[in-house]
Structure 1
């Protein structure tokens, strides 16, 4: 593995407690992009409307995050918003992001900025998206403009959000032909590697990753697509864990239909995901960039599992991972508010729920997860002696065979996350 920058072992916080959001999913006033075009031409999806209007309510959302005691706020700078035409920069929208960053820093939080959260300008779509080699240069130019704007501010950078999921979504919405997959893969890898070098040339102390979706049971294959090709160009492993798999839980199949609220959660799987990455990429710190729980339009789940219980159980397993020697440096809850889940407002992940389709005021209403997260961040985790609400599954397949043959010990020690 290529040596990391000399500053790679320096971190501005001992642990990053965070919340997350993303541009197209939350901002509203959507500019021309691959996704705004898809929604406009597709029947059977929820109308985008104004999402939850983060574009005009970011100060409120950042304040709500700070009140929970979090120290990190993840958002994306939307390429389609700041460069609506090739080489044309919208200074008003750049100033908007300047103010977002300023609010985050004034609240004492670290900005985590995603450069590509599955959305790119319409003019990039016209030239073939990331299946067109020219897009690599265009993306690097966009990234360079953003990175130079915020260098030296302690930003944590994410180049591509869940690149394998990005690939599958591009195929699903018809933005990519299957025959173009090799070119797309090559271009995304090259774009990440060039942006990594660009970030460190501009800001040597910065930290960069591309957060990887954890597909329980399949990551030894999915990591071959992107992560193995960029492992020498990341400062930490960013991972997103949501759903588990076990001999007594095959409900993850509901994800195919989008009925994610029907999936029985396995919070212990976050331990196995961390253990898997600690072994696959030794020496790299581990950051859970996304983790959360969906409900069906904000209704209680049929299994009775609450957001606050799922949150505490997940943090318990992070503390077990830390106690077992895994270098866990951060955790982001997805998401600060409900948002547009790629065609539907029905799955609700927010700590604050928002009825985007029925409430013109877009009022942020706290779920039970808000008070739970505030307590967790204040205490550095759950207390010693915490009793899991949901017991571990029998024979986990999250990282088979390891997760089944050498299961995590739920009675082991807990390490504080602070």
Structure 2
């Protein structure tokens, strides 16, 4: 396959997230969790990449790469910093971002919840609270009233399947215990019995949180569609390309049932489903198989496998049967030569999936620049640009040029 085998109107973009880029998200649950003691977060987000102030020059970077789409998140904690109180400043900011995208020929792909929620929402118990779907839908409606007429795609939730996926990642027990202690410290600091958050979750809460987010997705979609029936709505899922070696079929299928099945069934009624893929894991009868000796590995310790994107996309479509948006795809590595050489074969695999009949709306590389990586702080590097932690100056890595050249080729520019 060649890189020019993509349909007309294909969306070529990059993805970012509010809390990871904007900085000073002081009314959010994640900010609160970062600042309690003890905390599972290795760093505090602080100014992040200062994207709240530098958004215009960041859009210039996106447009300068020859892209035609930009995925970003609206921060609920900024829009509704106190329950029932909506910030005109925040709404005006996000409206300016949308208009800035359009002025640069970028289709705005908006995520309404990228892990973070308001502090007040977490203090109520987050998605365990029965009123949470209604509260989320109200916020989505306020945002839609302001910018809904100008956005291309709406993503309700980012990776709601991640908690279940992480149970398969075999995190060290001390991390699991530190997550519990973080939430206990947050509950005490907030003066509530049950402080809960979307990206630090206790195993016993999984079922209740999943039920709350499921209802939240449905309520949000209804609120969005009530204001603009033609706007495509979906959610984005973390999808590993799970492959079975001989004897590993049962384990692979059990993981798919535990992690993805619920959300892919929910997506059957959506307009599209987002695929966020970073790795392939090959399962034998006793678990994931290690990378072969001498093979390059990513930041998660699994083999660098560009074909994982094709596998993930084809699997998701086989179940959900709705168009796919590659809402995130990238690689965590300090060696940008690995990233630069990873992009083209990944896109050729995606072109193969399209040729084989999978309807793909677009591809958003994660991410525009190195940013705050949740509990792992500022260590992991996934950006096409590096960021000076003092001056916030953005410097393009070679991979940014590689991606730009490939997009130009695909778009016939």
TM range (shorter): 0.7 to 0.9
In the superposition, relative to structure 1, how do residues 187 and 317 fare at CA in structure 2: closer, same or farther (>3 Å)?
Answer: same
Residues 299-348 of structure 1 deviation map (CA, whole Å, 9 limit, x = unaligned): x27xxx52111111111111111222221221000001111000311111
How far apart in 2 are the matches of 1:349 and 1:205?
34
2:88 pairs, out of 77, 91, 100, with: 91
In the superposition, relative to structure 1, how do residues 32 and 13 fare at CA in structure 2: closer, same or farther (>3 Å)?
Answer: farther
3-state DSSP class of the match of 2:353?
Answer: helix
Scaled by the length of structure 1, the TM-score of the pair is: 0.79
User: How much does 1:79 deviate?
Assistant: 0.6
Whether contact under 8 Å (2:160, 2:210) holds in the other structure is no
Matched, 1:307 2:343: no
Taking the TM superposition and a 5 Å limit, the aligned residue runs for 1:286-305 are: 286-296=324-334, 300=335
Number of the residue aligned with 2:268: 231
1:59 pairs, out of 46, 53, 56, with: 56
How far apart in 2 are the matches of 1:109 and 1:182?
38
Matched, 1:201 2:237: no
Matched, 1:137 2:134: yes
Whether contact under 8 Å (1:131, 1:181) holds in the other structure is no
How far apart in 1 are the matches of 2:166 and 2:306?
25
User: How much does 1:247 deviate?
Assistant: 6.6
1:221 pairs, out of 249, 258, 271, with: 258
Whether contact under 8 Å (2:267, 2:320) holds in the other structure is no
Number of the residue aligned with 1:372: 402
Whether contact under 8 Å (1:118, 1:166) holds in the other structure is no
In the superposition, relative to structure 1, how do residues 90 and 361 fare at CA in structure 2: closer, same or farther (>3 Å)?
Answer: same
1:285 pairs, out of 319, 323, 341, with: 323
Unaligned runs of 5+ in 2: 1-6, 168-175, 184-195, 243-254, 292-297
Number of the residue aligned with 1:179: 204
Number of the residue aligned with 1:395: none
Taking the TM superposition and a 5 Å limit, the aligned residue runs for 1:299-338 are: 300=335, 306-338=338-370
Taking the TM superposition and a 5 Å limit, the aligned residue runs for 1:6-405 are: 14-41=9-36, 42=39, 45-165=42-162, 172=179, 174=183, 175=196, 176-217=201-242, 218-232=255-269, 234-246=270-282, 250-251=289-290, 260=299, 262-282=301-321, 284-296=322-334, 300=335, 306-343=338-375, 344-356=377-389, 360-380=390-410
3-state DSSP class of the match of 1:353?
Answer: strand
Whether contact under 8 Å (2:134, 2:219) holds in the other structure is no
Whether contact under 8 Å (1:72, 1:110) holds in the other structure is yes
User: How much does 1:295 deviate?
Assistant: 1.7
How far apart in 2 are the matches of 1:111 and 1:95?
15
How far apart in 2 are the matches of 1:206 and 1:38?
34
3-state DSSP class of the match of 1:152?
Answer: helix
Whether contact under 8 Å (2:264, 2:320) holds in the other structure is no
3-state DSSP class of the match of 2:109?
Answer: strand
In the superposition, relative to structure 1, how do residues 272 and 168 fare at CA in structure 2: closer, same or farther (>3 Å)?
Answer: closer
Judging by fraction of residues, say which structure has more helix.
Answer: 2
User: How much does 1:168 deviate?
Assistant: 7.0
Query: What is the root-mean-square deviation in Å for CA atoms of aligned residues?
Result: 2.4
Residues 211-251 of structure 1 deviation map (CA, whole Å, 9 limit, x = unaligned): 0110332334312333313421x101211010112379845
In the superposition, relative to structure 1, how do residues 169 and 272 fare at CA in structure 2: closer, same or farther (>3 Å)?
Answer: closer
How far apart in 2 are the matches of 1:375 and 1:367?
13
Number of the residue aligned with 1:407: none
3-state DSSP class of the match of 1:163?
Answer: coil
3-state DSSP class of the match of 1:192?
Answer: helix
